[in-house]
Amino acid sequence: MALPETLQWLFWEFEPAALDVQRHADQIIPRVLEKGRLEDVRWLIATYSLDRIHTFLRQVGHPELSKKTLTFWRCVLGAENEQWKTPPTWRQSSSAPWIS
């Protein structure tokens, strides 16, 4: 299944037909969680389910996800005490102003 047109603005660096919703879930989920609008997040939940998103955060993780985003989703998923995958050390300590 191809990525909907309404989400293509989030994946500007890819050809729209190059992203498959199922095959590229581990790239789509963090981008939508971090940068998506409310309607994009609703699509994400409808497409993957909260259980699948929770599993992704717990087992896969992604350096694109900020502490704010992770804290929010921990609250939403009732997972405040769970161990989740963390970004690599270089990502956590970067001094680049666009990485928080």
User: Per residue in 20-57, pLDDT tens?
Assistant: 999 999 999 999 999 999 999 999 999 999 999 999 99
R_g of the chain computed on alpha carbons: 14
* pLDDT interval class at 91 (50, 70, 90): low
Average pLDDT over residues 7-13: 90
The one-letter amino acid code at 66 reads S
Q: Is the pTM of this model over 0.85?
A: no
Phi and psi at 79, nearest 5°, equal -120, 35
